[in-house]
Structure 1
């Protein structure tokens, strides 16, 4: 189907890319200016900023407690932003919705960004916080059952990489992985996936912009041939946690997400791939207020509670 009309209307107001160099500082400032004031945010029982002490260093986290309860499942969330954008604030509304709909305590990770922090700093921060959550289960009131990881776009990349690192380290506490339109292959050959050509222009994220946007990460030492950088290149996916892969119909990254889900299934991993018709890349962050897309949070909650 065509792009959702409300998304199309907003996209029509955006300036076309002019090919000028990307300015991380200016783009981060623009992102910060769009953050809703605290009084306009989805209310929860508690929201607390803490610092997680990890082997990678102290990592800022924001912990969302949906309701008062004796115990909780825990979901660790990695925001998107092409490895150089995004923050605890820019994705605060996503974390709140995940907490409210799932009933899980959500830990959002303020990982270090490229280009200031070279690979694998951000990935190590994310993995460190997952280990920290497991080690601090008593203070978090973790129920000892669900310890899920979730992320959107580049955050979905970190989900896949963290799941692989945990498996290889013999750390089997991670119970679910949730990838929202993940960026899983940082080799941007336009002939690699049909969606890179089908959705090349006019849908927000453009194929021609993938390399410039990810260049801050790649130039910091991230090798696209490394499975921790391009998780779809991991040869053996057996033994990874059950997965929910959410894709968008009008997204250049659609096919790599769906291929990853297919490969997980072939490796014996319980996997659900769910494509959102009429959606574009970033819809969980930008367009979840549209009723057809808000169900993504309920689908996530259902995945976390299924046997």
Structure 2
């Protein structure tokens, strides 16, 4: 299938890449400038910004409560942005849709970003907030059952790394991992995965841009050979929680997400992999208003419900 017409229109309007080094501060400001005003956002029962006091320090989180209830399952969400962009604000619409469609209380993590914060600061924040959510279950009205982690792109990397770290440390309360077009292999040799060649140019995210965009994270001390940096390199996936992996047909990162799903199944882990036709990288963040891509949230709900 060709690129979805709405996505193709967006890609055609993208400016040519600016020359010179990337400017994280300017790029973050540009992202924040496109956030919808509060009155245009999906209404929920409550949305509050709080500070999670964790073993990694104080971490800002935004908590989304969909409806009034006595208790809730909890979903902890890690936003994307190549480890140096994004925030709970830029991905607020994703978290709101997750809360509304799943009925879970969603905790969006404002983890520390590269290059200001060296590896493993961001990962440590994500893991610590996951532990904090379980420890603070009573104050969060957690039902003691569902405790899922989810993330898009680099946030999907963190979600996969968090469940692996939790398994290795004997923390077995995470019930699900949900990965939207995850970045799981930070070795960007284009010969490693066919999608890096097939979708190299013309679909928004381009293969040539992967290395410079992730350089802030790698240069901060994140070794692509480390399974906590490249979760696809983990040799033993047994014992990890069930996974939902959603990929885009025209995403350079498509094959690494799908390979992760296959390897999970080979290790005896229940894993559902869905490829969204006509989609490129970032379709949940940027194009979930298109009905066929908004379906990611109902698919997430059904996965969490076991249907």
- Same fold, judged at TM 0.5 (above): yes
Paired position in structure 2 for 1:278: 278
1:248 matches 2:240: no
How many residue pairs get aligned? The number is 307
| Alpha-carbon offset, residue 19 of structure 1 | 4.1
Q: For 1:43-192, what aligned pairs fall within 5 Å after superposition? A: 43-192=43-192
Cα deviation digits, residues 105-144 of structure 1 (max 9, x gap):
0000000000000000000000000000000000111111
1:15 CA displacement: 1.2
Q: CA deviation at 1:292?
A: 1.0
SS at match of 2:277: strand
Structure 1 residue aligned with 2:26: 26
> 1:233, 1:216 → 2: CA distance?
20
Return the alpha-carbon distance in structure 1 between the equivalents of residues 165 and 241 of structure 2. 12
- Alignment partner of 1:238: what SS? coil
In structure 1, the residue corresponding to 2:139 is in which secondary structure? helix
Structure 1 regions of 5+ residues with no counterpart? none
C-alpha separation between the residues in 1 aligned to 2:18 and 2:50?
A: 40
| Counterpart Cα distance in 2 of 1:11 and 1:193 | 23
After superposing on structure 2, the runs of 4+ consecutive aligned residues of structure 1 that deviate more than 6 Å are none
Q: Which residue of 2 aligns with 1:287?
A: 287
Residues in 1 aligned to 2:153 and 2:19: alpha-carbon distance in whole angstroms: 22
Once the two structures are superposed, residues 124-173 of structure 1 have per-residue CA deviations (whole angstroms, 9 ceiling, x without a partner) of 00000000000000011111100000000000000000000000000000
Using the size of structure 2 for normalisation, the TM-score is: 0.99
The corresponding residue for 1:201 is 201
Aligned partners of 1:231 and 1:220: how far apart in 2? 18
Query: CA offset at residue 18 of structure 1?
Result: 4.2
Show the counterpart of 1:222. Answer: 222
Q: Give the C-alpha shift of residue 17 in structure 1.
A: 2.1
Question: Root-mean-square deviation (CA), in Å?
Answer: 0.7
